[in-house]
Structure 1
Amino acid sequence: MMKQSQSYKTFTVFNVTFLLLVVFLTLYPFVNIIAQSFSSQEAITAGKVNLFPVGFNTVTYAAVASDPMFWRNYGNTVLYTVVATAISMVLTTCYAYVLSKKHIKGRSLLIGVAVFTMFFNGGLIPNYILISTLGLKNSIWAVVLPNAISVFNLLVMKSFFEGMPNELEEAAAIDGLNQVQTFLRVVLPLSKAVLATMILFYAVANWNAWFGAFLYMDKKELFPVTIYLRNLIAGTSGVHDVGASVDNETQIAANIKAVTMVLTVLPILTIYPFVQKYFVSGVMLGSVKG
């Protein structure tokens, strides 16, 4: 093994220390929220909660879990996320595949239209009027359709498809496959890395989205769980809305926001480790060619 110089050892120690500090600063807020969600009202009020729960209790978790509206909104979020991600993936994948074919007439115009929307949009009021005129208010389509395609994801996927060898599609054509069959049977199976990455990008964005539902939905039973959380933080709903008993109102008021945040982010944290390995490979493969 090559002998390391003193300067390299110093750099390594400094680098590891700095990165550990960054990791700590990144994780501390989330760990603190988890600790608060399991801590007593007295400890939270006194500011004694840091990395570990103080006065461990699960009263607020039980209260939130017994609130039918929380689970109704949670189910809405799952539904909206699944439907929106599926629509986004179909549209983005098909659009990106078309843009990757340099021989197609009008390709530059299609790219220009997509890029234009990154910098300009109709504005809040015109969008609201459009959704209302189309009769999409208080429906799932008001949430899943307006932001169906992310131009950033589209361009990454386009670059990925451009980097695939043309010989693969030529061989498929010789075997008698048409363009659609080639896309479904050859291109997509070889694009698992970038597809997994895009699915996670879209799923996380849709899971955390709240503004569209806030604008276009008036009925509580249609809200996603992010609106439920937003109302708690804004103070428009509180402990009475989760059916808290008088004895537990003080405790629940102290950490209901932390509990709801933990329950909201839990599914994403559960799924992320299984698709994390595709992140670097998917994004880097899609950025080899411009």
Structure 2
Amino acid sequence: MKSTNGDRLFYGLNYTLLGLIALTCLLPLLHIASLSLSHTQEILSGRVTLWPKGWNTDAYTSMFEGTRILPAFKNSVIITVVGVVLSMLATVLTAYPLSRKIFPGRKWFTLAMIFTMMFTGGMIPTYLIVKLFGLVNSYWALWIPSLVNTYNMLVVKTYFENIPDELEEAAKMDGCGQWRQLLQIILPLSKPVLATITLFYAVSYWNLFFNVMLYINESVKYNLAVLVQQMIQNQQLLQEIVLTGAQVEVVPESLKAASVMVMMVPMIVLYPFLQKYFVKGVMLGAVKG
């Protein structure tokens, strides 16, 4: 069908608006990357914009040698990998029975979980419960309270409901039980939504900051998000790092930019592997029809 002038105007405005929004995300990222890779004199003179000037990796060298960036990175990986595995298991095992019509009371269970999206116990009662179970200063305090995200569960549940009932009936005729049906039929057909929700959980766990500060007492257990925040806010710490790497020429601004890049790169690298599932997973999991 031929596009009308109104359609072309609409699409043109959409592309322009989305392009401007994309630039507001891309340009700061390019600037930070340029600061982390530019020569000290270029940074001090304010000539660094969107491209590195005087290629220099001293900031990364000083950061890896003078900070706990590698242990913190390891902690972030542990928190993210274990958290994603636990959350995906819990989300799938919650969404699957709630998507089956034969499950008694599934609507009431669903409404009860939706209720938690609008009303929570609050920070202090949650902390007291976590402390009561002896989870303070343990990564379990990060995993268990946020094990299932209700929105993610509803997306997976709706996706499962969109899978044709004929497949379930055929599986039952072949003697397929619920567990086998879930593992061999439902999950292989749900790769788009599973990849999408995996990305949501991965970003959430990787960026954990407040809960780490609230529940983790030992600095050796801090993740990358907390360490980067401390590096950015603590000028004394930055100066100590600069003095540690006295044999190289580096400034605090470059160290801040390098720490932010180390924080962002893993998720940027992960996204392209899941991007092809992203739109399909969200759309099919969010719309019942």
Q: TM-score, normalised by structure 2?
A: 0.91
Tell me if the contact between 2:224 and 2:263 (Cα under 8 Å) persists in the aligned partners. Answer: yes
Shift of 1:50: 1.1
Q: State the AA in 2 paired with 1:116.
A: F
Measured in 1, the distance between the counterparts of 2:27 and 2:154 equals 34
Measured in 1, the distance between the counterparts of 2:171 and 2:245 equals 67
- Please tell me whether residue 33 in structure 1 is matched to residue 32 in structure 2: yes
Q: State the AA in 2 paired with 1:163.
A: N
Query: Percent same amino acid among aligned pairs?
Result: 38
Query: Structure 1 13/175 Cα, relative in aligned 2: closer, same or farther at 3 Å?
Result: closer
Q: State the AA in 2 paired with 1:170.
A: E
Q: For structure 1, which runs of at least 5 residues remain unmatched after alignment? A: none
Measured in 1, the distance between the counterparts of 2:4 and 2:187 equals 48
Measured in 2, the distance between the counterparts of 1:192 and 1:77 equals 25
- Tell me which residue corresponds to 2:214: 215
- Please tell me whether residue 155 in structure 1 is matched to residue 150 in structure 2: no
Shift of 1:9: 6.3
- Tell me which residue corresponds to 1:240: 240
Q: State the AA in 2 paired with 1:276.
A: Q
- Tell me which residue corresponds to 2:253: 254
Shift of 1:119: 1.2
Q: Kindly provide the CA deviation profile for residues 179-235 of structure 1, in whole angstroms up to 9, marking residues without a partner as x.
A: 111111111111111111110111111111111111111111111111101111221
- Please tell me whether residue 130 in structure 1 is matched to residue 100 in structure 2: no
Question: How many residues are matched?
Answer: 288
Measured in 1, the distance between the counterparts of 2:112 and 2:11 equals 47
- Please tell me whether residue 48 in structure 1 is matched to residue 47 in structure 2: yes
Q: TM-score, normalised by structure 1?
A: 0.91
Look up the SS of the partner of 2:68 in the other structure.
Answer: helix
Measured in 2, the distance between the counterparts of 1:75 and 1:123 equals 30
- Tell me which residue corresponds to 1:176: 175
Tell me if the contact between 1:131 and 1:137 (Cα under 8 Å) persists in the aligned partners. Answer: yes
Query: Structure 1 62/106 Cα, relative in aligned 2: closer, same or farther at 3 Å?
Result: same
- Tell me which residue corresponds to 1:65: 64
Query: Structure 1 138/5 Cα, relative in aligned 2: closer, same or farther at 3 Å?
Result: closer
Tell me if the contact between 1:59 and 1:252 (Cα under 8 Å) persists in the aligned partners. Answer: no
Tell me if the contact between 2:242 and 2:251 (Cα under 8 Å) persists in the aligned partners. Answer: no
Q: For structure 2, which runs of at least 5 residues remain unmatched after alignment? A: none
Shift of 1:242: 7.6
- Tell me which residue corresponds to 1:104: 103
Q: State the AA in 1 paired with 2:137.
A: N
- Tell me which residue corresponds to 2:285: 286
Tell me if the contact between 1:244 and 1:252 (Cα under 8 Å) persists in the aligned partners. Answer: no
Query: Structure 1 158/63 Cα, relative in aligned 2: closer, same or farther at 3 Å?
Result: same
